[in-house]
Chains A and B, each alone.
Chain A
Amino acid sequence: MKRAHAFGYIVGFVAILSLYVLVISFENNPEIGNLPYYTFRTLARISVTYLIALVTGLLFGLLAATTKTGSMILVPLFDVLQSIPILGYFPAAIIFFISAFHGAEIGLELAAILLLYTSMEWAIFFGVVGAVKSIPTNIVEAAKSFDLKGYGYIRHVVLPAIVPAIISGSTLAWGDGWFFMIAAEYITYGGKTYSLPGLGSYLAKAAYEYGDTNLAIVLLIIITILVVYINFLTWHRLTEKAGLGTYKPIFKTDWSRGLGLPAMRRLAHVPHIPRIHISFGFRHHILSASRRRIYTRIEKGMALVSVIVLVFFVTIVAKPGIPSFDDIKKSIMIPEMANLPFYTVSTLTRLTIAYFISLGIALGMGILAAERKGFALIFYPIYDIGQSVPILALFPILFISLSQVFGGRLGLEITSLTMLVADMIWYLFLNIVTAVKTIPDEIREVSQLIGMKGFKRIRHIVLPAILPAVVTGSILSWATGWNTVIFSEYMPHGTEVLWLPGLGSFLDKAALQEGNTILLGFLLLVMSGIVIAVDRFIWRKLLRKVERYGTEAM
């Protein structure tokens, strides 16, 4: 360990320790003394889930990448699972685990771990699959010709190939874990609130129960500092050690590096990149490729059917006994169902507005950060912290401050949009930065030679070159947007509940107020259907359209 690193760790640790001492001695909330305990519980929860996700991600990933059956079933199944909003399934899982353990805390804990797990698993799984699949054919053939099989093959070919993907996948998974932490620790179902000791639930309680905005902000700051510090302690270092020290999502193996062949023709053109950890945004690279190549329509259909079966299984198990047709009819045919088209349109509108705001800002920031060192020095740290703030934890705080200015309803609408933007923007930003940075030298030289500058250069060179990355970034930003929608359209405000017309709030009402499992299941199906339809009819078409663009095919 370098001395500078060790020094950084110690300074960071002391700073966090003193922050805790300060907060505990100056806050007068009755629970403040539990802060270290809550921190421990949250960290333990995320770590345990991460380990489970790592082991299963590796196993499933290797299975999917090396066996035909595995790839036919697992890849499409996981793809569908990760593209539907997980938060929506959580209440059903809660009910199941609570009834299975007769209300003991362990049931709640398992439900939380399940939710965290479903958010962490995909990045590792798809990272492993992508890395194994991108091992060049000549290496595979060389291994075969030297009769390298079984353990030897895994040890000398597969493992070195997937280590970078595991590290970057873990970084993503870890970030996703923090994102869902507050939702996993504090959940309302059927008018009852269940909470697990932890930082997330404490923050939620501070905002919803104590109405103590200051405490909530302090906790949010503590959580953000913890996230940044732990990233620095773990993923930053691993990323550097693995020689990935770049600000670039890893979705395939760089064999030129792995085999020790420096592929730098012109050293001066290798941009100096600040030490920054990798984060979200690589998953869809693999997905966009896998969507086009790895599996067929039939396989996707199979996966969809299995997901529907799974959903019904969960909802039915949650409510013992198989519901009769009348039960289903009674639960679904409520007067509010007439508003479903209107709700769908409003949620889609909200997402679209947030998407275009995010896209605009991300394009500006991304291009500037990639092309001008000065801007990179400002934007990278903003990105680093911005994507570390658990957005869901920001929600109550943002709402309390905004509702004081704009009133409840408008305040919630603005909060919802802000949350969506804060959530969707980073996927786009990271993709745009990466794409601009990977524009080949020759293309840059051509534009320099012919005297393309300013807006003309952006229009003719930069935008076309990054278009595929923008589309793939958009796919992921929409996927995460759907998750945030569930959380951001509905807000308990004092004694009443504020909600915005939309699919998210409809789902929340079904779960939180009425505990109507059948309606919840139905709405989840509707929502998943819309998500898949948007993906199929908009993004896939766009992906095909922009195939000509970009510089990968050169």
Chain B
Amino acid sequence: MKVLEVKNLIKEFSGERSIVALDDISFEINDDEFLCIVGPSGCGKSTLLRMVAGIERATSGEILFHDKTINSPNEKITMIFQHFGLLPWKTALENVELPLEAHEIVKEECRKVALEYLGKVGLGDFVDTYPHDLSGGMKQRVGIARALAMKPEILLMDEPFSSLDELTASTLRREVLRIWADPNLPTNTFLMVSHNVSEAVFMADRVIVMSPRPGRIVEDVKVNIPRPRVEHTRDPKFFDIVDHIIQVIEKACGANVSGCEEITNSQK
């Protein structure tokens, strides 16, 4: 079933020189789907994510959530951030409680829900700790708990693992997949932005590949690798898909190779 539909989206930043960030983007996400958008830096993928979150306006085109246009933030769509987006002056618990409180939920209920979700991400012992005293991985766990506590339908992730060390990132990737597959959680549609191709292939059902600015969709790749994929990361098929996507990106970059360096280097 179709949950989210992006139709002919165009984003232009006007200024001294106006810049077309996104050019005619259209795609759909189904219920239960894990979709990842990859592309070189500056291709507008983060902007796209923010438009789905309702905090950035499209220049033209629209985004439909259950057939209704998204104009403002929706509590059924939440987000986790590259740099975690935690408020340094609030404890882990208070950070998770804040969105709940903002939606006029009773204080005791907020606390209960927040504690429950902090427990789910394994931070039951750190509820009163300030972000400053948490490791990067723990901070992102707080970010995940905060996003899930709202019981959203769609979880948006903006390069959620790129500011973590590789070991922490790989643990957290598996944990995110576990959350995605958990039938007891209402959140089962995930949309992630990444510039790490193997990460995308490891996690997503579908990978949308974007070109450098102005961002266009150059290919929509289906990842037909059975789950759990931990068992298949050494399969030739896995590498085939990764190589294919890198080739698509390199071709899209053309002469503008510098923008692609980051993405190809991160694979080697």
Identify the A interface with B (CB < 8 A). Answer: 265-268, 440, 442-443, 445-446, 448-452, 456, 460-461, 464-465, 467, 548-551, 553-554
Contacts and interface: CB of A to CB of B under 8 A. Distances in A.
B99 interface: yes
A452 B78 CA distance: 14
B87 A446 contact: yes
DSSP majority for the A interface? helix
A104 B178 CA distance: 88
A449 B87 contact: no
Contacts of A267: 13, 15, 19
B26 interface: no
A453 to B, nearest CB: 9
A273 to B, nearest CB: 13
B132 interface: yes
A445 B88 CA distance: 15
Given A265-B46, A266-B46, A267-B15, A450 B88 contact: no
A554 B136 CA distance: 11
Contact of B103 (A445, A446, A451, A548): A451
B132 A553 contact: yes
Contacts of B82: 442
B144 interface: no
A443 B87 contact: yes
Nearest to A463: B89
A551 B87 CA distance: 8
Given A268-B13, A554-B83, A449 B88 contact: no
Interface string B57-92: 000000000000000010100110111110111100
B149 to A, nearest CB: 11
Interface stretch (B47-55, B110-118, B223-231, B254-262): B47-55
A443 B87 CA distance: 7
Contacts of A553: 88, 132
A465 B90 CA distance: 11
Contacts of A551: 88
B88 A550 contact: yes
Top 7 A-B residue pairs of the complex, sorted by shortest distance between their CB atoms: A450-B99, A464-B89, A442-B85, A446-B85, A268-B13, A448-B55, A549-B89
Contact of A464 (B15, B19, B87, B102): B87
B238 interface: no
B157 to A, nearest CB: 13
Nearest to A457: B102
B132 A450 contact: no
Nearest to A446: B85
Interface in B12-49: 13, 15, 19, 46-47
8 contacts: A442-B82, A445-B79, A446-B85, A449-B55, A450-B73, A452-B102, A460-B98, A554-B88
Interface residues of B, number: 29
B84 to A, nearest CB: 8
B130 interface: yes
A551 B88 CA distance: 7
B19 to A, nearest CB: 6
B46 A450 contact: no
Contacts of A443: 85, 87
Contacts of A442: 81-85
Nearest to B94: A460
Nearest to B56: A268
A545 to B, nearest CB: 11
B132 A449 contact: no
Nearest to A270: B15
Contacts of A461: 87
A204 to B, nearest CB: 48
Among A267, A440, A456, A464, chain B packs the most CB atoms within 10 A around the CB of A267
Contacts of B102: 450-452, 456
B14 to A, nearest CB: 8
A549 B89 CA distance: 5
A554 B89 CA distance: 11
Nearest to A548: B89
Nearest to B77: A449
A26 B115 CA distance: 77
Given A265-B46, A267-B13, A267-B19, A445 B85 contact: yes
Given A267-B19, A442-B81, A548-B89, A449 B73 contact: yes
A275 to B, nearest CB: 14
B50 A445 contact: yes
B20 to A, nearest CB: 12
B87 A451 contact: no
A451 B130 CA distance: 23
A451 B73 contact: yes
B88 A548 contact: yes
Given A451-B75, A451-B99, 4 more contacts: A268-B13, A446-B85, A449-B54, A553-B88
B41 to A, nearest CB: 8
A443 B131 CA distance: 14
Nearest to A554: B88
Given A452-B102, A549-B89, A446 B47 contact: no
B160 to A, nearest CB: 12
B88 A549 contact: yes
Contacts of A449: 53-55, 73, 78-79, 99
Interface string B128-139: 001010000000
B132 A460 contact: no
A553 B84 CA distance: 13
A445 B55 contact: yes
B81 A445 contact: yes
Among B53, B55, B75, B103, chain A packs the most CB atoms within 10 A around the CB of B55
A158 B53 CA distance: 44
A291 to B, nearest CB: 20
Contacts of B99: 449-451
B73 A448 contact: yes
B131 to A, nearest CB: 8
Contacts of A554: 83, 88
A6 B144 CA distance: 56
Among A267, A442, A450, A464, chain B packs the most CB atoms within 10 A around the CB of A450
Given A449-B79, A451-B102, A452-B102, A460 B87 contact: yes
B211 to A, nearest CB: 18
Nearest to B55: A448
B94 to A, nearest CB: 9
A268 B103 CA distance: 28
A268 B84 CA distance: 21
Nearest to A265: B46
Nearest to A546: B89
A367 B13 CA distance: 25
Contacts of A446: 81, 85, 87
Contacts of A460: 87, 90, 98
